[in-house]
Amino acid sequence: MKFGKVNDPGIIDFTLPEDNPDTARVLSQYRSAKPLEVYIGCAQWNRNYLKGFYPPGIKDELTYYASRLNAIELNATYYKVPDIRQIETWRAKTPAHFRFFPKIPEQISHRQRLTGVQDLVNSFCDIISHFEEQLGMVFLQLNENFSPQEWVPLRTTLEAFPAQIPLAVEVRNEKWFADPQIADHYYTLLERLGMTNILVDTAGRRDLLHMRLTAPVAFVRFVSTNHPSDFERLNDWVNRIRQWKAQGLQQLFLFIHQDLEADLPFLVTYFTEQINTAMHLQLPVPGKPVVRQPTLFD
């Protein structure tokens, strides 16, 4: 993912910001003894993207991918809405615990900019519902130039979004975050509708780390920089997730993106091991390639 890329990640302060005060209030409504549901994945499963992940001789990439990770950010649906047969094929290749996180098509989000899209949204949701229990959460990502001026189409679309399809939303225009009043207006809408407020952890746009949960779900899109600080950043996330779990967090969806995808499996493996240890979970660790420790870079 090129979004938020910087030339020198070494000069970026990657410290996670303090929580928005409303995050604790939201989470407190969901406190329970249930174990945290954690889904970790990448943004694609194809061999060219996940270099070094697939052993030689692997014939079906998705089948192998789903044997090592439990989620995929399904960006393919942004470009082309799959048909039902395609969804059934994907389901057949993956175990029941595997979850798909489809992205809303660009025709809805970027071309029509949420104007006059109700039929398209309904049609997409009808198709996506064929993932059945393997549907993790649909996510809507808006263009970087989609500003708070387009509040009405955003609100209209979200309020009419089919309630049975869980939705996470990512706005990128900096005006959503620069004015606390506008930000609060947006967060309040998501909270009222029970929708998830996506967190993007990327070097060049630290303002996207709003740390304001609007549901008991943390949906984190982590963009690696191929820098040793990646591991420390993931450690910070483990600590924050542990804190949120104590406050009431129920689900974590974390997807790791990277410019040099060769290192991607290392980070997924590393994060999975860390969250297992910290949260006493037993998530399957992707295994090979061997985990690299931060000290190797020091």
Rounded least distance, CB 165 to another protein, Å? 23
Count how many residues are written for the chain. Answer: 298
Asked if residue 180 lies in contact with residue 148, where contact means CB atoms within 8 angstroms, the answer is: no
Could you say whether residue 29 binds another protein (CB under 8 A)?
no
Distance of CA 115 to the CA centre of its chain: 25
CA–CA dist 148, 146 (Å, integer): 7
Could you say whether residue 185 binds another protein (CB under 8 A)?
yes
CA–CA dist 192, 183 (Å, integer): 14
What string of H, E and C letters represents the secondary structure of 222-286?
EECCCCCHHHHHHHHHHHHHHHHHHHCCCEEEEEEECCCHHHHHHHHHHHHHHHHHHHCCCCCCC
DSSP string, 116-155: S-HHHHHHHHHHHGGGGGGB--EEEE--TT--GGGHHHHH
Partners of residue 141 on adjacent β-strands: 170
Instruction: Name which position in 4, 9, 148, 286 contacts another protein (CB under 8 A).
Output: 148
Rounded least distance, CB 183 to another protein, Å? 10
Nearer to another protein, 31 or 113 (CB): 113
User: What number of chain residues touch another protein (CB under 8 A)?
Assistant: 19
Stretch that binds another protein, among 182-190, 195-203, 241-249, 255-263 (CB under 8 A): 182-190
Stretch that binds another protein, among 6-14, 21-29, 113-121, 216-224 (CB under 8 A): 113-121
Could you say whether residue 191 binds another protein (CB under 8 A)?
no
Stretch that binds another protein, among 180-188, 230-238, 244-252, 290-298 (CB under 8 A): 180-188
Nearer to another protein, 129 or 143 (CB): 143
Cβ contacts of residue 168 below 8 Å, gap of 6+?
Answer: 137, 138, 139, 140, 195, 196, 197, 198, 217, 219, 253
Nearer to another protein, 66 or 154 (CB): 154
Nearer to another protein, 107 or 235 (CB): 107
Stretch that binds another protein, among 80-88, 108-116, 199-207, 249-257 (CB under 8 A): 108-116
CA of 168: how far to CAs of 63, 136, 199, 219, in Å?
26, 10, 10, 8
Binding mask 48-87 for another protein (x = CB under 8 A): ----------------------------------------
Instruction: Name which position in 1, 3, 151, 279 contacts another protein (CB under 8 A).
Output: 151
Interface residues with another protein (CB under 8 A) are 110-113, 115-116, 147-153, 175, 179, 181-182, 184-185
